[in-house]
Chains A and B, each alone.
Chain A
């Protein structure tokens, strides 16, 4: 079945450091891939998405590239800020099968000043 695996956190970085959060997936068909972010006390917000292989999603300085050959969708940011501290979720959907999204377990990011 379809699944998503994220690196375990927490990830602790200093402000202005480079961020990578790894995400790999297992899926049949041609899923769309998503990154969501959850700030403390809030719901999940869509951060970026990619719908086909080699697409790059980007938003607010974050980027992720849909790599079919390595079944990966790693999240990157060149220079993190304290305000980026949150939990990040990788997710996939299979447009051919159902409305459901499959989420990874989430990675907590803590950015220190």
Chain B
């Protein structure tokens, strides 16, 4: 595998389910990110993990819970989601502060 991979690519879940999204980067980068992309809305940064800091967007609901066990893996745990959480969830990584980010293909999430 090369670049940034995400699994699953598509996920349909009910509002009472618990699921997790997985991201893995094969680039040796030091920072990883979760973004939410909804139709007709700007790209929303949800979480940042790096060697130096963890940054959270305070507007992200607690039903989204990130986990970063090491510099290559990032998870997004989902529970009791709402239909408005349906979106494309993108993972990205970067080498250093301020450098370009490399994105995975995304997970298309549908909450029913």
A45-B103 contact in complex given A100-B45, A103-B43, C-beta closer than 8 Å: yes
Q: Is the CB of A46 within 8 A of B100?
A: yes
- Residues of A within 8 Å of B100, CB to CB, are 32, 34, 46, 49, 93
How far in angstroms is the closest Cβ of chain B from A108?
11
- Residues of B within 8 Å of A46, CB to CB, are 100-102
How far in angstroms is the closest Cβ of chain A from B98?
3
In whole angstroms, what is the CA distance A44 to B91 when docked? 10
Binary flags per residue of A90-113, CB closer than 8 Å to B gives 1, else 0: 000111111111011110000000
Q: Is the CB of B103 within 8 A of A99?
A: no
Chain A binding surface, main DSSP class = loop
Q: Identify which of residues 36-64 in chain A touch chain B, using a CB-to-CB cut-off of 8 Å.
A: 36, 42-46, 49
A43-B42 contact in complex given A95-B98, A96-B98, A101-B101, C-beta closer than 8 Å: no
Listed in ascending order, the chain A residues whose CB lies under 8 Å from chain B are: 31-32, 34, 36, 42-46, 49, 89, 93-101, 103-106
